């Protein structure tokens, strides 16, 4: 009868042994698959020549002058020129020329909130792959705004590759221009 009593211990040992053998076999084949290397193979064909960018990135900056007054319903649409390739992952930034101080341009990123008395004036934008909409928002009475706040405003629109935007302070237009190595800014109106 002792044979029956020792059977479960024996069975348990066999189950453990089978499981360990399967694990060792699996590890062996995984190691063989990972450590094997084949030949590199022939090089592929040369790609189509493209436009050079900074570190492989191509960014574009365009400048426009716009009126955001009652005649334009306090908004202005800018069509992206067809010679600029825009990808869904690109980041759009818009900057407004605030003033020229000591011969230097002062640019502020949008959205920009200005507090006046108890009211708020917001310069903002939204975009698609085809255009950018600049507009006014807020609690201020737009009809009572000074023409300096609405007429002849200068904006720069930067189209920045998403991977590139991670490493640059996109809130500062000068940093974006330097990083993208932009020499010419295209004025489109």
- DSSP secondary structure string, 35-52? H------PPPPPPPP---
Nearest Cα neighbor of 99 from 62, 137, 153, 146 is 153
Checking if the pLDDT of 172 tops 80, the result is yes
Instruction: Round to whole Å and give the CA distance between 189 and 34.
Output: 59
Instruction: Round to whole Å and give the CA distance between 27 and 35.
Output: 12
Please answer whether residues 134 and 69 qualify as being in contact, where contact means their C-beta atoms are separated by less than 8 angstroms: no
In percent, how much of the chain has pLDDT > 90? Answer: 33
Q: How confident is the model at residue 116 (pLDDT cuts 50, 70, 90)?
A: confident
**pLDDT score of 104:** 87
Checking if the pLDDT of 160 tops 80, the result is yes
For the entire predicted model, the pTM comes to 0.67
Checking if the pLDDT of 35 tops 60, the result is yes
Query: Average pLDDT of the chain?
Result: 81
Minimum mean pLDDT among 5-14, 68-77, 135-144: which range? 5-14
Checking if the pLDDT of 54 tops 60, the result is no
The single-letter DSSP state of residue 142 is: G
Minimum mean pLDDT among 15-19, 100-104, 149-153, 156-160: which range? 15-19
Checking if the pLDDT of 1 tops 50, the result is no
- Highest-confidence segment of 17-21, 112-116, 176-180: 112-116
Q: How confident is the model at residue 188 (pLDDT cuts 50, 70, 90)?
A: confident
Instruction: Round to whole Å and give the CA distance between 150 and 137.
Output: 12
Burial 137-167 (b: 16+ CB within 10 A, else e): ebebebeebeeebbeebebbbbbbbeebbee
Instruction: Round to whole Å and give the CA distance between 154 and 137.
Output: 18
Checking if the pLDDT of 6 tops 60, the result is no
């Amino acid at each position: 009868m002792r044979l029956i009593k020792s059977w479960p211990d024996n069975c348990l040992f066999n189950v453990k042994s089978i499981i360990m053998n399967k694990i060792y076999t699996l590890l062996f084949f995984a190691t063989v698959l990972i450590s094997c290397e084949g030949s590199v193979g022939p090089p592929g064909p040369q790609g189509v020549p493209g436009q050079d960018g900074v570190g492989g990135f191509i960014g574009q900056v365009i400048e426009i002058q716009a009126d955001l007054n009652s005649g334009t319903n306090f908004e202005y649409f800018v069509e992206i020129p067809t010679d600029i390739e825009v990808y869904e992952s690109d980041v759009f930034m818009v900057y407004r020329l605030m003033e020229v101080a000591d011969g230097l341009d002062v640019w502020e990123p949008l959205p920009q909130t200005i507090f006046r008395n108890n009211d708020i004036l917001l310069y903002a934008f939204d975009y698609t792959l085809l255009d950018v909409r600049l507009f006014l928002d807020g609690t201020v009475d737009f009809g009572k705004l000074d023409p300096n706040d609405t007429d002849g405003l200068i904006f720069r629109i930067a189209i920045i590759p998403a991977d590139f935007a991670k490493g640059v302070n996109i809130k500062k237009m000068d940093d974006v221009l330097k990083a993208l190595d932009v020499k010419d800014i295209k004025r489109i109106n």
